C-alpha cells in the first residue's frame, strides 16, 4: 500500500470505527489532511464544532490563525499535514480523556509512519505529552528536539493564543523560527541535498512555460 493509500484507508477507518466513546456524538470524523510526502506534520488536540461539521481540521477561528502563522513561516497548508490526537469531537470541546487518547493513538501512529515527516509540530499539551511526557509547554515551547527518527517542536495551541493575548507574541516568534529549524532538521537527517534538488526541479518546471512562450 502506498503512503497515500494508507492515509485514505485511515480516513475511512476513523469515519466508522467506534473504539472510544467519542464516536457517539461524531457528525464527521476529522482524520487530518495534507500530502503523504509532507515534511512537517502539525498535530493538534481534537476537532471542534466547525471541524465536526466539515470533517476538516482547523477550519474555525483557530484555523484562520494557524493559516496566518503558516504564512508567516513561508509555508502553505497544501504542503503540510495537519491532524489531531483524537479524530472525533470531544463533547463541548472538553479535553480528550486518557482512554480516548489511547484508543485513537493507533490511527495517529499509522499516519506518522506513512508520512514519515522530518518535523512534528505539536499544538497544545496533549500532542506534546505524546512525544515529551511530563513536559511543561510554557518551559519548552518553540524548542526543537530529536525524538526517535525525527524532530519535534512543541508549540502553544493557536486557540490558546487567541484566548490569552499574552501568549500571542510567543506563538508568533515560535512560528517565525520554523523555516530555520526545518533547514536544521533536513541537514541533521541528511535530507538537505534531496530537498534542494527537488526545489531546483520545481523552479525549472515553473520556468518551462515562460521559455515556450518565447518561441
Q: Which residues of the chain form contacts with ligand SF4 (CB under 6 A)?
A: 14, 17-20, 22-23, 29, 86-88, 100, 103-104, 107
CB proximity list for 95: less than 8 A, separation 6 or greater: 45, 126
Nearest to 191 by CA among 99, 120, 98, 116: 116
Residue with cell 528536539: 145
The secondary structure of residue 89, as a DSSP letter, is P
Residue with cell 496566518: 68
Whose Cβ is closer to ligand SF4: residue 59's or residue 119's? 59
Question: Min. distance of Cβ 103 from ligand SF4 in angstroms?
Answer: 4
* Spatial contact of 39 and 182, defined as CB atoms under 8 Å apart: yes
Provide φ and ψ at 54, rounded to 5°.
-100, -15
Question: Min. distance of Cβ 23 from ligand SF4 in angstroms?
Answer: 4
Question: Min. distance of Cβ 94 from ligand SF4 in angstroms?
Answer: 13
Question: Min. distance of Cβ 155 from ligand SF4 in angstroms?
Answer: 22
Whose Cβ is closer to ligand SF4: residue 73's or residue 82's? 82
Whose Cβ is closer to ligand SF4: residue 8's or residue 188's? 8
Whose Cβ is closer to ligand SF4: residue 88's or residue 128's? 88
Question: Min. distance of Cβ 138 from ligand SF4 in angstroms?
Answer: 27
Distances (CA, A) of 189 to 81, 150, 160, 171, 193: 19, 8, 32, 25, 11
Whose Cβ is closer to ligand SF4: residue 20's or residue 160's? 20
Amino acid at each position: 500500500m502506498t503512503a497515500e493509500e494508507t492515509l485514505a484507508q485511515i480516513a475511512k477507518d476513523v469515519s466508522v470505527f467506534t473504539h472510544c466513546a467519542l464516536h457517539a456524538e461524531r457528525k464527521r470524523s476529522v482524520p487530518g489532511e495534507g500530502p503523504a510526502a509532507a515534511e512537517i506534520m502539525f498535530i493538534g488536540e481534537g476537532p471542534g464544532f466547525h471541524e465536526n461539521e466539515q470533517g476538516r481540521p482547523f477550519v474555525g477561528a483557530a484555523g484562520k490563525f494557524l493559516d496566518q502563522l503558516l504564512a508567516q513561516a513561508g509555508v502553505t497548508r497544501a504542503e503540510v499535514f495537519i491532524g489531531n490526537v483524537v479524530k472525533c469531537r470531544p463533547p463541548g470541546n472538553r479535553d480528550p480523556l486518557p482512554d480516548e487518547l489511547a484508543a485513537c493513538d493507533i490511527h495517529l501512529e499509522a499516519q506518522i509512519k506513512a508520512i514519515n515527516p522530518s518535523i512534528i509540530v505539536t499544538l497544545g499539551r496533549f500532542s506534546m505529552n505524546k512525544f515529551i511526557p511530563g513536559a511543561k509547554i510554557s518551559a519548552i515551547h518553540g524548542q526543537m528536539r530529536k525524538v526517535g527518527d525525527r524532530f519535534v517542536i512543541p508549540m502553544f495551541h493557536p486557540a490558546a493564543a487567541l484566548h490569552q493575548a499574552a501568549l500571542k507574541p510567543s506563538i508568533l516568534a515560535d512560528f517565525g523560527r520554523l523555516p530555520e529549524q526545518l533547514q536544521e532538521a533536513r541537514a541533521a537527517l541528511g535530507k538537505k541535498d534531496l530537498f534542494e534538488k527537488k526545489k531546483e526541479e520545481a523552479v525549472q518546471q515553473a520556468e518551462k512555460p515562460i521559455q515556450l512562450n518565447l518561441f
